[in-house]
Every structure is written in C-alpha cells, then in structure tokens.
Amino acid sequence: MSVIKSVNLTRKFGSLTAVNGLNLDIPEGEIFGLVGPDGAGKTTTMRLLTGILEPTGGEAWVYNKHVVKEAEPLKENIAYMSQRFGLYEDLTVLENINFYADIYCVSGKQRSDKIEQLLGFSGLIPFKKRLAGKLSGGMKQKLGLACALIHTPKVLFLDEPTNGVDPVSRRDFWKILYDLLKEKVTILYSTSYLDEAERCRRVGLIHKGSLLNCDTPDNIKSQYNTKTLEQAFIKIINEYESGHK
C-alpha cells in the first residue's frame, strides 16, 4: 500500500518553479530520504504534501487523503517537523508537550501514557520542568519530535530535523526513528547529510525542483559505480547540468 503518492506535483512561485512534476510513491513503513542542495525544493515538497501549501499543478495523496481536497482530515494522521521546530521557549518541556496534546485532543490514560513514553525515549524526563529555551540544540529537536509524535501520527514529515545537531543527539534521534519504523510509521526525511541518507530505505535526489534519481542507496551507488552516495550524487547533478546547457 502506498502511503505517500504524488503525480506530477508542481509548485511555481511566480516565474520560479520550486517543485517540478514530482512523482513519488512511498509504501507504508518506509523511510524515504529526500536529498538535495539548499534551495532544491525539499521544504516546498514537504509543505505541499502536508497540505499547508497548495500545488499549482499535479496531485498528491497522503494516507489516502487528497492533500488539497481533504487537507483537514489529512492533518489528523500526519506530523510535520520543520527545520526549526517551533517550540514555545518560555514554556517548560512538559507544558510544550501538554499544549500539543491539547491541540490534538489527546486525553485520558492515552495521554499520560504517551507523554511518559515520549519523555522516556527522548531522554527528557530529567528536564521536564526546564524552559524549552534553556535546552541544548539537540534536546530542542528531540522535544520537537516528541511534540510532533503526541498524536501517534501514521506519516511523519521531517524537514532537515538534525541540522546543526551534535552527532550523539543525532544518533539518539535516529534510534527513535527506527522504533517508529517498527510500528509501521512512514517517514519522509529531508536532509543534506549524506550519512543520514545512507540510513534511509530509499533516497530521492532533488535538484532545482526535479527528482533526478530515486532508488535504494546501494542501487544508486552501483548504478554510478561509486563508493559513496556523495560521489554518485555529484555525478548525477553534473550529468543533469551538462544536459541542460
């Protein structure tokens, strides 16, 4: 079953085409890496698929909901964590989580269990009463993830969540993601770190709004006969640029 599907998804801002005819098909329980240089269209793709930006062309479905026509019901099942997850820095860790629990109407025993679980795996229990603004960068991102997961979403959109986060926190972060994958959560993960891209089940290279290649990391490497994804991607981008001169 494909959980994220897009057909010719396009978004133009005036004369600039931020996303150009994107075709994606991501099955349940997969972690899909969206890789590309800054300004490639990763964030726009995320926004289109989460129903907060309307496409100018093409269509997309997430968890069987059309991203334009069924944008509101769609939001019940997804979570989106933008590059800089907006935390209320003048509220404590627990108050932040509680706020999102209220917004998603998570209540009763389910709520207390979930909060305990999220605080547990994000390692934030000792910092429950600390103001979010006083957390380190890595902890802030983990708190952001905890807030995003409060309603047990089926699909998770993570837009460069570990940008500027130290390696240890990044490893913790990925541990959480692997646990989620076991629970059949589908994850679209955008990153500019290629070591993170290697951990994804499949990766899509996006450049100037177009998806240039989409396969498992191993297949891409063998297809271009390179040792690393980085080398493969440089080859792909160079090929594209010479073809468009």
48 touches 67 (CB < 8 A): yes
DSSP 8-state symbol, 36: -
38 vs 243 by CB, closer to another protein: 38
91 near another protein (CB under 8 A): yes
Place of tokens 């978004």: 11
Q: Map the footprint of another protein across residues 55-74, applying CB under 8 A.
A: 71-72
Applying CB under 8 A, which of residues 59, 95, 215, 230 lies at the interface with another protein?
95
Applying CB under 8 A, which of residues 51, 55, 138, 161 lies at the interface with another protein?
51
DSSP 8-state symbol, 113: H
**CA–CA distance, 230 with 227 (Å, rounded to integer):** 9
DSSP 8-state symbol, 92: B
**Radius of gyration of the chain from its Cα atoms, rounded to whole angstroms:** 18
Q: How far is the CB of 221 from another protein (least distance, A)?
A: 34
x/- map, 96-125, another protein, by CB under 8 A: ---xx-xxxx--------------------
Binding-residue total with another protein (CB under 8 A): 29
54 near another protein (CB under 8 A): yes
Piece of 18-26, 78-86, 169-177, 214-222 that binds another protein (CB under 8 A): 78-86
190 near another protein (CB under 8 A): no
Residues ≥6 apart with Cβ < 8 Å to 210? 20, 21, 22, 240
Piece of 89-97, 116-124, 173-181, 204-212 that binds another protein (CB under 8 A): 89-97
For residue 94, the tally of other CB atoms under 10 A from its CB is 18
**CA–CA distance, 48 with 43 (Å, rounded to integer):** 9
Place of tokens 């209220």: 102
Residue 149 has, within 13 A of its CA and on its CB side, a CA count of: 27
86 vs 137 by CB, closer to another protein: 86
Applying CB under 8 A, which of residues 76, 116, 195, 239 lies at the interface with another protein?
76
DSSP 8-state symbol, 125: G
Residues in touch with another protein (CB under 8 A)? 50-52, 54, 71-72, 75-76, 78-80, 82, 84-91, 95, 99-100, 102-105, 147-148
